[in-house]
Chain A
Amino acid sequence: MTFSLKALAGALALGAFSIGAVHAQTPSPEGIVVYNAQHESLTKAWSEAFTKETGIKVTLRKGGDTELGNQIVQEGAASPADVFITENSPAMVLVDNAGLFAPLSKATLDLVPEGYRPASGHWLGVAARSTVFAYDKTKLSADKLPKSIMDLAKPEWKGRWAASPSGADFQAIVGAMLALKGEAATSDWLTAMKTNFKAYRGNSVAMKAVNTGEVEGAVIYHYYFFGDQAKTAENSGNVLLHYFKNQDPGAFVSVSGAGVLASSKHKAEAEAFVKWVAGKGGQDILRTGDSFEYAVAKGAASNPKLVPIPDLQGPVLDPSKLDSKAVTGLMTKAGLL
């Protein structure tokens, strides 16, 4: 007992005296808790490599973006989370608006270009993904593809396309649409979507449905396709990707964020993890691993198989302007949730 008390006091003292200089100290025995909405395999690869390098233990809690975001807001100052990582930025905005993030140091923020982090400096982008229309190449030719994601609301697309409306990914795409086209147009589009589309749970399941011919296309993110192609292509053999481009809402490039909670008792270790993920170690895993998400840090290269980000012609959006609450509200109203 005395030993562990001493250790605890020591850890507290170290924590108090050495914010921002984590490398020199011994890691705290309890490590950090990461509320992880990113793909588990990716964050696991990050955290295992990070633990190996620094000795800091990482415990992951799994959940969806907005689920964990709202959870952190409810937990408030008592949140057990030290770090929050999402697949998309709206949930980061949610937590930031509640004033629950601790500011990141300039050295950490400077790792990524300004377009991938909010002006507040409370979180930063650590990866990115592009919206795509994954389609059945045996049924659709290039000339029959929708020009814009907005076209999918037209009656001719009735019953022909799929999406995963309960997922944060699709909700982020709707968030981009809301920011670009306004509430009325988005609401109309969602209402039309309710009659036109088929709901699947999860992007990979939606892609599999395209592959088996249940639907002709699906609005998903790009890396599900590349990941499956790299494995057995069992769920994407008949699938090709269509990029909407032209700054279309459907060309939206979504930023995955990471931030340190203001309530964290291990802020130094938490920021060390965020910095590691945005740094060379974390970004290299994006390039070489099987996640196929885009690397976003300055000077970091993405997997060469991917279409380079500038060629995606995504709409210019401030990631901190995407409103998750308005999106779930509109989707609930349209009967999608």
Chain B
Amino acid sequence: MSIASPAATHETARRQQPLRRLSPRAPAIMTGLAGLIALICLIPLGFLVAITIQTGTETVTQLVFRARVAELLLNTALLELCTIPLSIGLGLALAWLTERTTLPGRRLWAWLAVAPLALPAFVQGYAWASFAPHLQGLTGATLISVLAYSPFTYLPVVAQLRRLDPALEDVATALGRSPARVFLEVVLPQLRLPLCGGALLIGLHLLSEYGLFAMIRFDTFATAIIDQFQSSYNGPAANMLAGVLVLCCLGLLLLDGSLRGRERYARVGSGAPRAMPPRQLGGWTLPALCLPLAYAVLALGVPAYTLGRWLIFGGAEAWRVPELLAALGTTIAYAAAGALATTIIAVPIAWLCVRNPGPWQRKLESCHVYVGSLPGIVIALALVTITVRVALPLYQTSAMLVLAYALIFLPRALIGLRGSLAQAPVELEWAAAALGRTPLQAVAQVTLRLAAPGVGAAMALVGLGITTELTATLLLAPNGTRTLATEFWSLTAEIDYVAATPYALLMILLSLPMTILLHRQARSAQAQ
């Protein structure tokens, strides 16, 4: 969920070339640590390569080139092709309406456009499965995915719209362009990066999401891998499906890389940031209101209705408090441990990015980032097999689950950490050193303190991601571990919707802070 724009932090990083190092050995140590972590990040990919070689050409061919895989590929392609353009359109339209027009209640609509983020996708799926049981297959999958994931395009577009220099639009208008052409020729090209970023994020989520699609009977690689896992544990068929899924992820990343283009979006001088005068909607006000209203009704109203209905239906009996509290406690403990671990292992590479950029740092950084684009199921499958076969002492330990979380959510921690380190000027470290602090003290007392709010936000993003993580938790959790997500999942599998609702509600409550945080981040873009 790398919504903060990576491009911006890169710019800051490059401007801040180190003049003098804190300790001559620091870069070497940090590079070593980052290299070690990069190696850990390569485990899932290495595992898939090794297992493919071990499985043998004949079996691999049999398991990969079969009708079922073709069917899943087709499903995946159709899902991506239907969902991404619709989400882009919806996100763009909502962002423009709430940022650039006189739409009544803009601030409220802006909140409502982000609020669906607080609903884990599989809760959205559960709400729809019980609201409209006939809604299935590609139509259902597309509708619910668009509802669940549109904030991923909305948020970066809002952030970018606020950052744009209005002077460009003024010039275009002064040169006689109509408002529509100004939007198409001046504004839209400048939104290319955030749109690409949002689309990539949605694309990757569609590849890795399991619960939502299982709930509405749409088969993707993630659901097929879990089906195979439930039938044969980590058999070759599951591993080969995981291999194809990883190829799909890489395909998306490459596609994104080529769509981003090579145009320059930066310029010298900061311009004069000021708000654009909002466009009068006039007679279009009522029709324009329909869009955010429809989105809010479908993405928030339906879940609210279903959850509310089950809550009333279940009454106080549905709240099995000791079990709920136990699951809540476990979830929070894992979220905290995972957030801490993820942030710590992101430190070396984040430090290198800011203080010691170079070709090595780039390579190491891409290792850290790629692992986050892998579906949780692939990482979990690799860790399960490796621990059960060669690292038994680590098998079924909480440490393994925390490691899986760290790999899945590493990019979230990295982006937050990199951004906040970049904002802590290295000169202050020098000043602290000149005033007698040891290098470590200087970092701890100056840099870390300045970076703390950003680090905190990054940790929150990681922790909240863990709160609703399902697939890796299902595969890796130690015996007897129950989190909100796994309990919710096992109850809905037995269609005990009443008992499942309190778990859904708790997950939503825990996700609210993240939603608020992201909303604030996007809207404060102007100040950065």
A328 contacts B232, C-beta separation under 8 Å: yes
Question: B290 on the interface (CB 8 Å rule)?
Answer: no
- A63 touches which of B63, B230, B388 (Cβ 8 Å): B230
A328 proximity list for chain B (CB < 8 A): 231-232, 235, 237
- B311–chain A nearest beta-carbon distance, Å: 16
Mark each residue of chain A from 70 to 88: 1 if its CB lies under 8 Å from any CB of chain B, else 0: 1101110010100000000
Closest residue of chain B to A41, judged by CB?
Answer: B494
- A174–chain B nearest beta-carbon distance, Å: 11
4 shortest interchain CB distances as A-B pairs: A70-B233, A166-B227, A64-B230, A335-B68
B359 proximity list for chain A (CB < 8 A): none
Distance of A39 Cα from B67 Cα, bound (Å): 33
Distance of A28 Cα from B404 Cα, bound (Å): 32
B388 proximity list for chain A (CB < 8 A): 71, 74-75
- B54–chain A nearest beta-carbon distance, Å: 14
Mark each residue of chain B from 478 to 512: 1 if its CB lies under 8 Å from any CB of chain A, else 0: 01100000000010011100000000000000000
5 contacting pairs across A/B (C-beta < 8 A): A60-B480, A64-B231, A67-B230, A167-B230, A331-B231
- A78 touches which of B71, B134, B395 (Cβ 8 Å): B395
- B231 touches which of A33, A66, A212 (Cβ 8 Å): A66
Closest residue of chain B to A74, judged by CB?
Answer: B388
B493 contacts A201, C-beta separation under 8 Å: yes
Question: A200 on the interface (CB 8 Å rule)?
Answer: yes
Range of interface residues on B (Cβ < 8 Å): 20 to 34
Give the interface centre of A166, A171, A214 by most chain B CB atoms within 10 Å: A166
Query: A61 with B479: in contact, given A75-B388, A337-B224 (CB under 8 Å)?
Result: yes
Name B's A-contacting residues (CB within 8 A).
63, 66-68, 71, 133-134, 214, 217, 219, 223-224, 226-235, 237, 388-389, 392, 395-396, 479-480, 490, 493-495
B224 proximity list for chain A (CB < 8 A): 337
B134 contacts A214, C-beta separation under 8 Å: yes
- A5–chain B nearest beta-carbon distance, Å: 20
B134 contacts A59, C-beta separation under 8 Å: no
B480 contacts A61, C-beta separation under 8 Å: yes
B71 contacts A33, C-beta separation under 8 Å: no
Closest residue of chain B to A31, judged by CB?
Answer: B480
Closest residue of chain B to A228, judged by CB?
Answer: B495
Query: A40 with B490: in contact, given A63-B230, A64-B230 (CB under 8 Å)?
Result: yes
Distance of A328 Cα from B227 Cα, bound (Å): 11
Distance of A66 Cα from B388 Cα, bound (Å): 17
Distance of A332 Cα from B229 Cα, bound (Å): 12
- A225–chain B nearest beta-carbon distance, Å: 13
Distance of A166 Cα from B223 Cα, bound (Å): 10
B232 contacts A70, C-beta separation under 8 Å: yes
Question: A49 on the interface (CB 8 Å rule)?
Answer: no
Query: A202 with B228: in contact, given A59-B480, A61-B479, A208-B133 (CB under 8 Å)?
Result: no
Distance of A111 Cα from B122 Cα, bound (Å): 44
Question: A62 on the interface (CB 8 Å rule)?
Answer: yes
A200 proximity list for chain B (CB < 8 A): 217
B235 proximity list for chain A (CB < 8 A): 70, 328
Distance of A337 Cα from B233 Cα, bound (Å): 13
- A57–chain B nearest beta-carbon distance, Å: 10
Closest residue of chain B to A66, judged by CB?
Answer: B231
Distance of A165 Cα from B480 Cα, bound (Å): 27
- A118–chain B nearest beta-carbon distance, Å: 22
A166 contacts B392, C-beta separation under 8 Å: no
Number of A-B residue pairs with CB-CB distance less than 8 Å in the complex they form: 99
Distance of A136 Cα from B144 Cα, bound (Å): 28
- B495 touches which of A60, A78, A165, A204 (Cβ 8 Å): A204
Closest residue of chain B to A167, judged by CB?
Answer: B230
- B228 touches which of A62, A205, A235, A337 (Cβ 8 Å): A337
Distance of A41 Cα from B494 Cα, bound (Å): 10
Closest residue of chain B to A211, judged by CB?
Answer: B133
- A30–chain B nearest beta-carbon distance, Å: 11
Name A's B-contacting residues (CB within 8 A).
33, 39-41, 59-64, 66-71, 73-75, 78, 80, 165-168, 171, 198-202, 204-205, 208-209, 212, 214, 235, 325, 328, 331-333, 335-337
A335 contacts B217, C-beta separation under 8 Å: no
- B224–chain A nearest beta-carbon distance, Å: 7
- A66 touches which of B66, B133, B233, B396 (Cβ 8 Å): B233
B133 contacts A212, C-beta separation under 8 Å: yes
Closest residue of chain A to B130, judged by CB?
Answer: A208
Query: A202 with B494: in contact, given A59-B480, A335-B71 (CB under 8 Å)?
Result: yes
- A100–chain B nearest beta-carbon distance, Å: 14
Give the interface centre of A74, A201, A328 by most chain B CB atoms within 10 Å: A201
B494 contacts A204, C-beta separation under 8 Å: yes
Q: 19 more A-B contacts (CB under 8 A) besides A39-B494, A67-B230, A204-B493?
A: A61-B479, A73-B233, A78-B392, A80-B396, A166-B231, A168-B231, A171-B231, A199-B219, A201-B214, A201-B227, A202-B495, A214-B133, A235-B495, A328-B231, A331-B231, A335-B66, A337-B68, A337-B224, A337-B228
Distance of A68 Cα from B235 Cα, bound (Å): 12
Distance of A10 Cα from B67 Cα, bound (Å): 58
A205 contacts B495, C-beta separation under 8 Å: yes
Closest residue of chain B to A333, judged by CB?
Answer: B66
A325 proximity list for chain B (CB < 8 A): 232
Distance of A166 Cα from B385 Cα, bound (Å): 21
A212 contacts B134, C-beta separation under 8 Å: yes
Closest residue of chain A to B215, judged by CB?
Answer: A201
- A153–chain B nearest beta-carbon distance, Å: 18
- B233 touches which of A40, A71, A171 (Cβ 8 Å): A71
Distance of A39 Cα from B495 Cα, bound (Å): 13
A199 contacts B217, C-beta separation under 8 Å: yes
- B128–chain A nearest beta-carbon distance, Å: 14
B233 contacts A67, C-beta separation under 8 Å: yes
Distance of A73 Cα from B232 Cα, bound (Å): 11
Distance of A62 Cα from B63 Cα, bound (Å): 28
B493 proximity list for chain A (CB < 8 A): 201-202, 204-205
B389 contacts A67, C-beta separation under 8 Å: no
Distance of A27 Cα from B392 Cα, bound (Å): 27
Give the interface centre of B133, B232, B235, B395 by most chain A CB atoms within 10 Å: B232
B223 proximity list for chain A (CB < 8 A): 201
A198 proximity list for chain B (CB < 8 A): 217
Closest residue of chain B to A63, judged by CB?
Answer: B230
Give the interface centre of B66, B231, B389 by most chain A CB atoms within 10 Å: B231
Distance of A296 Cα from B173 Cα, bound (Å): 84
